[in-house]
Amino acid sequence: MKKIMSLMLSLVLVLTLVACGEKKVPKDNNKKETKIEEKKEDKVSFERTPAKAKAEIVKIGLGSSVGLSAKPLKDGKGDAVSNVTIAGLAFDKEGKIVEAYIDVAQSKFLLRDDGTFAKKPSEVQFMTKQEVQDKYGMKKASKIKKEWFEQANAFQKYILGKTAEQVLGIETTKKDDNHLSVPTQADLVSSVTMDIGEFQKAVKAAWDNAVEVKGAKNLGLGVTTILGQATKEAKGYKGASVQFETIVVLTATDNKSVVVKTVIDNAQNTISFNKDGSIMTDLKQQGTTKKALGDKYDMKKASKIKKEWFEQVQGLEKFAEGKTADQLVALKLEKGKATDADLLASTTITVEGLIKTLVSSIKTSK
């Protein structure tokens, strides 16, 4: 009898322990903070390489030239295209270029003739001409049998030691209606035969926008293109619209990869279509960037801190100084916005995409 009682007590004890072990832990209902994570698709599949000379960097400049194009929506298809030509440059005390990045963010989005999209905007990934490398497919048509990135890299090297004014002075000629500024100088035509007009414009803009730096040893460029919130399919009496946002970040770092200066911009441009598929946007007008718009971007009225977009980005640029890529990746965000009190004092806009591109620029700095 004692053995039976002992067994029963042991069984009760085991069941009690099992029940306790299965007790559910209450869910944490507190708002969770997220930190910036680098997704695999965010990483470029090539090593971005600048042309570089041995000289002290005293200024850096980010310049761009934006062009838009589109095809009407008919015969089952159409498209919208954004071309952002980018020059990320470093200058010495005489204003000569000592480091150079040249790239073009050429982004095409396909539509159907009824104004609907061939792909979901969130699923589309864009790459720059430098990033696509040989897949751009220009070598076969090239007289000198060089791909786009090879010619762009040759141009980067060619402009080292030159001022922006001298780059603007490179002699060119009109080849046809699609190639208005093809170089003619003997020391350049052996390596560059494509149109350089937009390169020249971007270089001038980079010099015009140049800012002073101290302690800079390396320069890095980051480029990310996404489709903005204004991207919408045709609905009711309204036609489709495609909004491109090309975030460009140029960063100078010291010999320990710490940020000494960064410049951030966003080429946000929209191409709109009429309900019948014709193009509404005036494509002859030059595209622009948010910084170039300045107060005309007109965000200040809706801002809690009463600051325009360019002012808030300047706050982020200042905040990044003295930090490494790892420190910026570790920042906690809520719905893409900062939670850091110091950063929030100057920047309340969504910063997730800006910081990801900033981190990319730091990691490519050479």
pLDDT category at 45 given cuts 50, 70, 90 is low
Residue with the bigger pLDDT between 154 and 23: it is 154
CB 84 within 8 A of CB 64: yes
What mean pLDDT do residues 173-177 have?
Answer: 85
Lowest-pLDDT range, 15-24, 312-321, 344-353? Answer: 15-24
What mean pLDDT do residues 229-239 have?
Answer: 97
What does the DSSP assignment read for 281-328?
S-TTS----HHHHGGGG--GGG-TT---HHHHHHHHHHHHTT--HHHH
pLDDT category at 191 given cuts 50, 70, 90 is very high
Residue 124 has pLDDT above 60, yes or no: yes
Chain-wide mean pLDDT for the chain? 90
What mean pLDDT do residues 113-129 have?
Answer: 96
What mean pLDDT do residues 205-219 have?
Answer: 98
pLDDT score recorded for residue 37 = 56
pLDDT score recorded for residue 345 = 96
**190 burial type by CB count under 10 A (0-12 exposed, 13-18 middle, 19+ buried):** exposed
**What's the distance, Cα to Cα, between the start and end of the chain in Å?**
84
* pLDDT tens-digit series, residues 54-89: 899 999 999 999 999 999 999 999 999 999 999 999
For the chain, give every domain's residue range.
51-364
CB 228 within 8 A of CB 112: no
Quickly count helices (H) and strands (E) in the chain.
11, 13
Residue with the bigger pLDDT between 122 and 46: it is 122
What mean pLDDT do residues 142-164 have?
Answer: 96
76 contacts: CB under 8 Å, gap ≥ 6: 112, 113
What mean pLDDT do residues 94-101 have?
Answer: 98
Residue 41 has pLDDT above 80, yes or no: no
What mean pLDDT do residues 159-164 have?
Answer: 98
